[in-house]
Structure 1
């Protein structure tokens, strides 16, 4: 587990299911789809052939999004915001395709997306007996090492061909189950089509997580192998039609993480510690970015996607704070926990895992701040730390390696390290000095870790010295250090490398403490809680999200908001009605230029009751016939508490329709060759 994972996301793996899913709730694994439940709810459910078909067309993008193959030549549908970084990386001051949009007229014009990888699940295998047998009665650090060793062994034996396959052992139900996911991977992913950013981001932050929406949040990528487009006979049929109110819909994608079944102690940890720090820190970063971006058009372009990501995260965390301060919402969570406790009373094999979780969380409170602020932010620093750690870890047995550097993980680590992409020194310096200033603020100026991080320098001075002095922005330099291994890293005088080496030991010590005092006892407690859940409810509940492939079912439906029914759809013509001429409600130039050609009644965006979370962005929305009718790109404002629970009466998924995308390809950003490809011609 990486530092970022343990400090920010480790709780996401904790899953304590206490009741069966109700209404359209559920992010179901493909090997445990609740066909009987859906049959009872809808009078119809997909068979195994249907599930296999959509599974083989579903794509996971390693940048943190979902997608789907929609032609037989590797064409991938996803969201614009999932490829915006790629678009920005391929933009220049003279040719800002993030602003103007991009259409590759030929395959040769399709642009590389640095660090991106497309993955398709080929198999899911239960390896719970092997992992639990390896852990056996081990505790503390020994238990974590035993788990790490068996996971690395299973991943290596499951995917000996690391050039084309990737294996991951995933913990479900917090340690109640372990599944080996095998993927066919495509490491060459290229940009095919993206509308103007203003079309995808129309309404900006005010409209984010709201509906009605008027957003063309869609783009196309293409998977390549050996310099040629990948043949993908298993793809979703494109259906450019309007949705029908009440029709069944499926979202097939990779929800990132949920914490829906936390114990009360874990919820308190989030509410009292994690969320307040996150909101304060991100708010300051937002302010620093806006101030810097106002100084020049070039900085405004270079940091646009970074700012958008920060603003999106802020809105998410504000929604989580609101949910955890809502007595009605948290009361339901408490009642569910009480139900499992009552149902499990008297089961001696279960013991008191709630008490064990509480003890682990109490321990973590003592060093969470140190853990969270043990490493600074910044792309250049990230390169340096990756090089330092890879050099140290590659020669070790898999079981002894630092998290994230196993044989199965290294190919993607190498790709992200060596892929060429632009680095903006001013932005790297800003993020580094911001994170270092937060470390000093929360740890205190006299804390030993502050002295390790800063020495006698200021955050601003240290960041400037390191960013201005390093040569790691050059991919050739990174490649030489990667291939040169420990000897090259030891010989390097690069100040960023030297700095990473100087703070590495402290972070490793924190990782070791986390493994022994938090991760191991939590895993043991979670396994017992999973056993309690299985004993009480069988297999009627889904595991928390783990950025692995899931399918949710629901229907096209609006909801009641403040006494009024919110409609299910918007139309393209509504964009012109909503426009004010001022950012962020200014019309995209292509919309203005082609207004007379645009069908104003064409369905633009729509909402469904499907249960999603971050990571589902770009997921295909599929109809009963297995055809794609949209791409999920957001939730409504009520869904922000969806990290902890689902309310089918008001939680909604927001989707850009295939009808709108095809209208764009025909009349707004004409691309007849893509229209023909989507039609299979």
Structure 2
């Protein structure tokens, strides 16, 4: 266990300059605790994570599997981003009661809205199980056999580790397969919508301002966790009661100033901080341009319809936002990697690593790893491009293609598992389609299909194209499919899937939409996917070896944190402005004045509700202003990524000061290369959230649930008291 001991040693080594990182909360003692305290934190590591007493982790659940949230009252009131709750807000919206446009506020518990299928998950305990998971793997004859042994060992750990009957065990992988942690969790299943501002506040600036600074967005929504009478997880029931948390976050009214300590606690999704230079180069030159290009044509077509038709705008709001989010992120990521010379920096780091390998006489073990990477990525390139283009076209951007692909998978289920599995899967699909077709427009999807398939055919490596797709006129193909396929509305799909397996499969294969998807999928599955998977496994094995070398041979003060993988992490920093380019400096805080400066009446992205305008003109900010101004957003040096949306921003004393929701465009490359000069996360000021709830929505009963504090004022009062005692 030399490697794990080294991890612990590195975590214990003192550092003096904050350089980013996403840290496992159970391993904060030592270097991280010292560094956080040097940055101004007044808490201990045990205040952040503890099994034996309540701690910050007990107030920070995973929100619906994709975002983060935080408990902010003793009655289970839950705060997260507006964009994290967007799907639920949309699902309750109609043209008559458009909660996206008008907002929603439950004025009592009875008005709170249930959300079937929605969950939040709390971490109970984190345990290192590396030895158990890697047991016996040194004797594996191949990487495939080794991985199979690891999977069996992980399952064994999950099954044999103690837990209560309402809890779940999970094992997650860290440091590219060099470390494994067991997470004991509790998942609550009765989550109700409590409040959301209108999109003109919660999504202010929409896609134009997305990933940008200065920002002026009130990106928040409120939910409530319900539990059974024993305060344990339960399915929705009218008998359930508001959850009583082990810990909830007090909300600070004191705001932020430059250099204030900030701690962001949450569930970052995926990062690749230790990719070799050749992988980053391929991402910038090949993969990102393909993903950006295909989403660009899809978004352009959707936008045309959304601007003309209010019903379509409601139907496609969540889908458009989801597609646009990473479209813009990938653009900024590529530009940032180029601007910061990330490839050359990684090459220099690799050169230093090779020098240390040679100095330690470990060339036999690690000496060929960089050349092996070069070969592997060269062979992987076309297959990786095919994988990404197929995923974008047939899973993410065209609904007919996605639905057709799910039906193709249904046919595969019949062939591999039999009719009972087919029947079960069919029932689940129909239930999903009942919901998804509610927000479907065939005329929108038809235009998106035509442009996406054209891009797909033009950019897919030719060896993966079917003959028909190469030769067929794309406009004619589109008309044939959308004019004849049953996949264009739910009633037709329901008829298509009526009957036993044999009848359904026969009808499916006679449908032109399904036949098209099946032909493309078969080509992908036969010619691209097998090699993609084998090359991916080869690269993953090299990455594990590379990670081992980095950790083993890096200097003692190296910053070696594990990549994000959707597990609970701590990232800490300070409130800081930044300079994105020559002669430009951005202040770290924005105000309501900036919201008004961007305001354009009737605009899709920059319109404002009249009541907010009135509050601004009257300067009616209640107790939430700062010297007569209403703070809105602020930025800091916290190292965040997707999944940190909705993460609490916590001050030096453990109080909520903001809500994380984005990053600056220049720093979106931080998933691959974190640069402290320009990497900044964007947060909603807690006072703006309180102002909107109280003064705009009139939901003062929610404010009364919370614990509002003045930590800075308390600190100043203590100083005055000490000075007074000295004078006496």
| Cα distance in structure 1, aligned partners of 2:588 and 2:74 | 32
> 1:669 pairs with 680, 685, 697, which one?
697
Higher relative contact order (CA 8 A, sep 6+): 1
Deviation at 1:247, TM superposition (A): 2.1
Is the 2:173–2:181 contact (alpha carbons within 8 Å) kept by the matching residues of 1? yes
User: Aligned pair in 2 of structure 1 residues 321, 676: CA closer, same or farther (>3 Å)?
Assistant: same
Q: C-alpha distance in 2, partners of 1:233/1:212? A: 35
Q: Structure 1 residues 492 and 71, CA, compared in 2 at 3 Å: closer, same or farther?
A: farther
The residue number in structure 2 matching 1:598 is 621
CA–CA distance in 2 between the matches of 1:433 and 1:256?
32
Summarize the Cα distance change of 1:112–1:533 in structure 2 as closer, same or farther, 3 Å threshold.
same
Counterpart selection for 1:322 from 335, 343, 348: 335
- Structure 1 residue 85: Cα displacement: 2.2
The answer to whether the aligner puts 1:651 opposite 2:651 as a matched pair is: no
1:576 aligns with 2:596: yes
What is the distance in 1 between the residues matched to 2:162 and 2:414?
A: 18
Q: Which residue is 2:246 aligned to?
A: 234
Determine if contact 2:49/2:57 at 8 Å carries over to the other structure.
yes
1:129/1:395 Cα in 2 relative to 1: closer, same or farther (>3 Å)?
farther
Aligned to 2:561: 542
What are the superposed Cα offsets for residues 364-389 of structure 1, whole Å, 9 maximum, x if unpaired?
11323332344613456545655764
SS of the residue 2:365 aligns to: coil
- Cα 1:535–1:498 change in 2 (3 A) is same
The answer as to whether partners of 2:464 and 2:524 remain within 8 angstroms in 1 is: no
Pair 1:364 & 2:359 matched = no
Q: Distance in 2 between matches of 1:631 and 1:414?
A: 36
Residue 611 of structure 1: aligned partner: 639
Q: Are the equivalent residues in 2 in contact too, given 1:598–1:667 (CA < 8 A)?
A: yes
Measure, in 1, the Cα distance between the counterparts of 2:27 and 2:470: 47
Distance 1:357 1:590 in 2: 58
Q: Secondary structure at the match of 1:553?
A: strand
1:123-167 Cα deviation digits (max 9, x unpaired): 3333434444465434365555555555555556669999x5555
2:216 maps to 1:203: no
Q: Whole-Å Cα distance in 2 between the matches of residues 504 and 115 of structure 1?
A: 30
Is residue 139 from structure 1 mapped to residue 142 from structure 2 by the alignment?
Answer: yes
Asked whether the 8 Å contact 2:81–2:659 carries over to 1, the reply is yes
The alpha-carbon distance between structure 1 residues 439 and 230, as it changes in their structure 2 partners (threshold 3 A), is: farther
Equivalence for 1:566: 586
Which of residues 356, 371, 375 is equivalent to 1:343? Answer: 356
- Counterpart CA distance in 2 for 1:355 and 1:332 is 18
The 8 Å contact of residues 590 and 669 in structure 1, kept in 2 or not, is answered as: no
Query: Do structure 1's residue 513 and structure 2's residue 512 form an aligned pair?
Result: no
CA contact 2:262–2:575 (8 Å) conserved in 1? yes
Evaluate the alpha carbon distance shift between residue 150 and residue 47 of structure 1 in structure 2; reply closer, same or farther with a 3 A threshold: closer
Question: How many Å separate the matches in 1 of 2:328 and 2:131?
Answer: 41
1:660 and 1:442 mapped to 2: Cα distance? 46
- The farther-off stretch of 383-392 and 56-65 is 383-392
Rounded Cα–Cα distance in structure 2 between residues aligned with 1:476 and 1:467: 9
Q: What per-residue deviation string (whole Å, max 9, x for no partner) do you get for residues 324-348 of structure 1?
A: 3236443322222222222223223
CA drift of 1:487 comes to: 8.1
Look up the match of 1:274.
287
> Any conservation in 1 of the 2:14–2:30 contact (CA below 8 Å)?
no
Please say which of residues 80-89 and 58-67 is displaced more in the overlay: 58-67
**What SS does the corresponding residue of 2:49 show, helix, strand or coil?**
helix
Distance (Å, rounded) in 2 between the aligned partners of 1:238 and 1:572: 24
Tell me the residue number matched to 2:44: 46
SS at match of 2:439: coil
Q: Count the aligned residue pairs.
A: 645
Flag the 1:65–1:461 CA change in 2: closer, same or farther, 3 A: farther
Task: Note the C-alpha offset of 1:101.
Answer: 0.7
CA distance in 2, matches of 1:475, 1:148: 38
> Equivalent residue for 2:711?
none
User: Does the alignment pair 1:23 with 2:18?
Assistant: yes
Cα displacement (A) at 1:574? 4.1
Match for residue 370 of structure 2? 354
In structure 2, what is the equivalent of residue 620 of structure 1?
A: 648
> In structure 1, the residue corresponding to 2:352 is in which secondary structure?
helix
1:296 is matched with: 309
Instruction: Report how far residue 625 of structure 1 moved.
Output: 1.9
CA distance in 2 between partners of 1:333 and 1:607 (Å): 27
Question: 2:606 aligned with 1:585, yes or no?
Answer: yes
Who is 2:345 aligned against?
A: 332
Asked if 1:629 corresponds to 2:648, the answer is no
Q: CA RMSD in A?
A: 3.9
Whole-angstrom CA distance in 1 between matches of 2:59 and 2:503: 42
Q: Cα gap change, 1:475/1:165 in structure 2, threshold over 3 Å: closer, same or farther?
A: farther
1:619, distance to aligned residue in structure 2 (A): 0.5
Show structure 2 runs of 5+ residues with no match.
1-9, 227-233, 623-627, 709-728
Whole-angstrom CA distance in 2 between matches of 1:152 and 1:20: 37
The equivalent position to 1:551 in structure 2, one of 570, 586, 591, is: 570
Structure 1 position 96, deviation (Å):
1.3
What secondary structure does 1:566 align onto? coil
Please state how far the C-alpha of 1:119 moved relative to its aligned partner: 1.7
Give unmatched runs, 5+ long, in structure 1: 1-16, 398-404
Looking at structure 2, the residues matched to 473 and 65 of structure 1 have their Cα atoms a distance apart, in angstroms, of 35
Secondary structure, aligned partner of 2:123: strand
TM-superposed deviation, 1:536? 1.9
Q: What's 2:122 paired with?
A: 120
SS in 1 for 2:83: helix
Q: Would the alpha carbon gap of residues 503 and 553 (structure 1) be closer, same or farther in structure 2, given more than 3 Å must change?
A: same
Q: How does 1:69-80 map to 2 (within 5 A)?
A: 69-80=71-82
Give, in whole Å, the separation in 2 of the partners of 1:658 and 1:505: 51
Match of 2:217 in 1: 215
Whole-angstrom distance in 1 between the partners of 2:602 and 2:88? 27
The alpha-carbon distance between structure 1 residues 302 and 122, as it changes in their structure 2 partners (threshold 3 A), is same
**Normalising by the residue count of structure 2, what TM-score does the alignment of the two structures yield?**
0.78
Deviation at 1:266, TM superposition (A): 0.4
Distance 1:473 1:115 in 2: 26
Q: CA deviation at 1:26?
A: 0.8
**Counterpart in 2 of 1:108?**
110
Q: Does the 8 A contact of 1:165 with 1:183 survive in 2? A: yes
Report the structure number with the largest CA radius of gyration: 2
Asked if 1 retains the 8 angstrom alpha-carbon contact of 2:262 and 2:652, the reply is yes
TM superposition shift of 1:78: 0.8
Deviation at 1:256, TM superposition (A): 1.8
Q: Contact 1:114–1:419 at 8 Å: present in 2 too? A: no
Moved more, 368-377 or 649-658: 368-377
- Provide, for residues 252-296 of structure 1, a one-character-per-residue CA deviation record: whole Å limited to 9, x for no partner: 011222222211110121022101112221221121112232442
Q: Would you say the 8 A contact 1:87–1:98 is kept in 2?
A: yes
Q: Distance in 1 between matches of 2:503 and 2:25?
A: 45
